[in-house]
Chains A and B, each alone.
Chain A
Amino acid sequence: MSAVSSSPVIERGTATSRIAAVAVAIIIALLAVAPQFLSAGAVDRMTALFIYAILAAMWNALAGFGGLVSVGQQVFFGLGAYFAIRLADAGLNPFAALFVSAVVVGAVSWPLSLFMLRLRNGEFAIGMWVIAALTHLLVNLDRLVQGETGTSLISLNVYHAGTRRVTIYWLALASMTALLAVLFGLLRGSTGAAIRAIRDNEDAAASVGVRVTGTKRLLFVLAAFGIGVAGALWLATSITFQPKTYFNVQWTAYMIFMVLVGGIGTFEGAILGALVFFLIETWFGGTGVWYLVGLGATAVLFSLFLPRGLWGTIEERFGLRLLPVGYRVRLPEHPATPLNDEAPSPERTTQHQEKA
């Protein structure tokens, strides 16, 4: 393509996205000092929000970007908590145990990926569920856990309640920021182009030399690690470990809800979804069963009528992008309209072509 003035412009950052980058930095800084001004209850709620954001971003990385829909991600959530219990029992500092545990979860997910990634679509989805159910049963066999009675991260009790609360808050904030940054970096780099190519058409991606399995494995392990961190952090906030709670499929249901509502396959969408879920939980969580019915029904409605989610729709309608991970082609005649043709290089995936 020659650089004539009428030729399309390929762009990544926009004025909005540069403002957004500054805003993100300010928000993170504000969140870091927030515990000074928040009540104890509010600090706990914010910690939960950070954990939800991790869960949503990780499930979105796997499903939205890797095309791997799993209904068994609770296995990593539960294992993150379980290994933390085990490591703390072996004498490791409880805070260190949280992160060592997540590393172990990531390490476990590697051999698992060799096997599971050969399954496709629905079979991968339920296959992961079987893995989660089996792991839950096996964890129950551990005498330390005492079956469904569960156990606690007792060693965390040596810290003063206030110190503990704020430390966990900061750890959750730092984990969320780091994981989102890693994902963002990954999606912007050459791996990101490969990831989106695989999601859009796996066979075509393979034919132009994308390492399909390797890339999927990377996402699988990253998601396992991230969800492991989330599980360990959740254990730190709630202290008690009951296998039934942690290996519950509801965690995956939450992840699916957040990502579907926020916008599957968009980086910002997962964060927005976590925020929406957090607010809904805060307002309606007390209504018990109807709250869960509402979550399920909303997921069904979004999948049928708004499969791109809130953010995907906003993005499409207004051409707005805050944290761009793709490139887009802008035609001079229609400055805000993205080009939907195939780009000659795999790098030039437009974000607007994303689909669930």
Chain B
Amino acid sequence: MSNQIIQGILLGGYYALIACGLSFMFSVMRIINLAHGSLAIFAAYVLWLLASRFHVSPFLGLLIVLPLMAAIGWALQRFLLERSARGGALLPILTTFGLAIVIDNMLFEQFGADTRSLAPYIGSLSYDSWEWPGSIYVGKLAVIMFATAVILLGGLQLFLTRTRLGRSIRATSEDPDTAGLVGVDARRANAIAAAIAMVTVGLAGAFLGMRATFDPYAGAPQLLFAFEAAVIGGAGSLWGTLIGGIVLALAQTVGAQVHPQGFLIGGHAVFLVVLFVRLSTSGLGLRGLLRLPSRSAS
């Protein structure tokens, strides 16, 4: 059992990876991007294409994919989200949902219904493991994934608190108008934040492709995992996302023990339980759930 717990915790690293972009975008722009999962799958497909067609290792491929994702994030914010956010809080949900449908079906059109994986292109890493005391075997990939999540979350935290750009992003998220008064370009800050979020999405897509299989319609479950991890963690600091991811993964592990189809049920159930407990104790809506500072007059 302790073996499964460790595997669960390591899987939580993946959920933290996919969740941190969603939660980051939400905390800066107040937009929940429903195309989040589909974009991760898109990144995985680009890596797969590079590896299968041009024999580029997925790790090297990241050098191409991550800048590409950053550009997509920037464009997404500038051309879609910025415009749609002006129409109220509900419109971005519809815009990004439409975008998700477009991405999913374009991927299907391009790559067909076959499930793909990046595992064949990363050599022995996909199955190598270390033996830990107590005859516990942990996959090298799972450990790398977890470490990446920790480094990414820590890096983001440092970036937001220590750098000038990070501070201007935080200022924009608190109050874009006042930030503008003190010389912060809110549009630029938001576009950069979206670019950063998409880089994390690209990383998450890469790890998803390496540790499992994916198909054109795999985006929706990834979005749900990301959302669940972000809400469970109650991302006050980015570290909450990591805790949320671990809780989600452990619940899935327990669910799988109880029933063969219990993996997903366990995850959804723990999400609803956490939500229920938090709603009945705090009585707060969205802001309270993600423990965000409330924006003035809203």
CB distance from B284 to the nearest CB of A (A): 9
Q: Is the CB of A125 within 8 A of B93?
A: yes
Q: Is the CB of A292 within 8 A of B98?
A: no
A3 within 8 A of B: no
One digit per residue, 1 when the CB lies within 8 angstroms of any chain B CB and 0 when it does not, for chain A 116-140 equals: 0011111101110111011001101
Closest partner residue, chain A, to B221 (CB atom): A133
Determine the chain A residues whose CB is within 8 A of the CB of B272 once the complex forms: 130-131, 134
In the complex, A44→B231 CA distance in Å? 44
In the complex, A123→B279 CA distance in Å? 13
Q: Is the CB of B101 within 8 A of A123?
A: no
A231 within 8 A of B: no
Q: Is the CB of B268 within 8 A of A137?
A: yes
- Interface locus among A156-164, A182-190, A212-220, A297-305: A297-305
Q: Is the CB of B83 within 8 A of A304?
A: yes
Q: Is the CB of B90 within 8 A of A133?
A: no
Q: Is the CB of A249 within 8 A of B87?
A: no
Given contacts A130-B271, A293-B109, contact A256 B264 (CB under 8 A): no
Q: Is the CB of B98 within 8 A of A296?
A: yes
One digit per residue, 1 when the CB lies within 8 angstroms of any chain B CB and 0 when it does not, for chain A 303-315 equals: 1100100000000
Q: Is the CB of A256 within 8 A of B88?
A: no
In the complex, A354→B89 CA distance in Å? 15
CB distance from A291 to the nearest CB of B (A): 9
A37 within 8 A of B: no
Q: Is the CB of A290 within 8 A of B109?
A: yes
Given contacts A71-B93, A133-B264, A304-B95, contact A126 B224 (CB under 8 A): yes
A20 within 8 A of B: no
One digit per residue, 1 when the CB lies within 8 angstroms of any chain A CB and 0 when it does not, for chain B 243-269 equals: 000000000000000010100110011
Determine the chain B residues whose CB is within 8 A of the CB of A303 once the complex forms: 84, 87, 91, 94-95, 98
In the complex, A137→B272 CA distance in Å? 15
In the complex, A244→B138 CA distance in Å? 35
CB distance from B274 to the nearest CB of A (A): 12
CB distance from B44 to the nearest CB of A (A): 19
Within 8 Å by CB of B268, from A120, A133, A297, A356, lies: A133
Q: Is the CB of A125 within 8 A of B88?
A: no
A289 within 8 A of B: yes
Within 8 Å by CB of A122, from B26, B109, B269, lies: B26
Given contacts A137-B264, A293-B102, contact A121 B90 (CB under 8 A): yes
Determine the chain A residues whose CB is within 8 A of the CB of B286 once the complex forms: 119-123
Q: Is the CB of A126 within 8 A of B34?
A: yes
Q: Is the CB of B276 within 8 A of A134?
A: no
A53 within 8 A of B: no
A69 within 8 A of B: yes
Given contacts A122-B31, A307-B91, contact A130 B228 (CB under 8 A): yes
A-B contact count (CB 8 A): 132
B235 within 8 A of A: no
Within 8 Å by CB of B97, from A67, A133, A253, lies: A253
In the complex, A71→B33 CA distance in Å? 13
Closest partner residue, chain A, to B112 (CB atom): A289
B220 within 8 A of A: yes
In the complex, A300→B231 CA distance in Å? 27
Q: Is the CB of A289 within 8 A of B84?
A: no
Determine the chain B residues whose CB is within 8 A of the CB of A120 once the complex forms: 285-286
CB distance from A183 to the nearest CB of B (A): 20
Q: Is the CB of B105 within 8 A of A296?
A: yes
Given contacts A69-B93, A296-B100, contact A289 B32 (CB under 8 A): no
Given contacts A121-B286, A126-B34, A253-B101, contact A300 B95 (CB under 8 A): yes
Within 8 Å by CB of A300, from B99, B268, B283, lies: B99
Q: Is the CB of A134 within 8 A of B269?
A: yes
Q: Is the CB of B94 within 8 A of A121?
A: no
Q: Is the CB of A69 within 8 A of B32?
A: no
Q: List 30 A-B contacts (CB under 8 A).
A: A67-B90, A69-B90, A69-B93, A115-B276, A119-B279, A121-B89, A121-B90, A122-B89, A125-B32, A125-B34, A126-B223, A129-B220, A130-B268, A131-B272, A133-B264, A141-B261, A256-B94, A256-B97, A256-B98, A260-B94, A292-B101, A293-B101, A293-B105, A299-B95, A299-B98, A300-B98, A303-B94, A355-B87, A356-B87, A356-B88
Additional A-B contact list (7), CB under 8 Å, known A121-B32, A140-B261: A119-B286, A123-B286, A123-B289, A134-B272, A260-B98, A303-B98, A356-B91
**Which residues of B line the A interface, CB within 8 A?**
26, 31-32, 34, 80, 83-84, 87-95, 97-102, 105-106, 108-109, 220-221, 223-224, 227-228, 231, 259, 261, 264-265, 268-269, 271-272, 275-276, 279, 283, 285-286, 289
**Which residues of A line the B interface, CB within 8 A?**
63, 67, 69, 71, 115, 118-123, 125-127, 129-131, 133-134, 137-138, 140-141, 249, 253, 256, 260, 289-290, 292-293, 295-300, 303-304, 307, 355-356
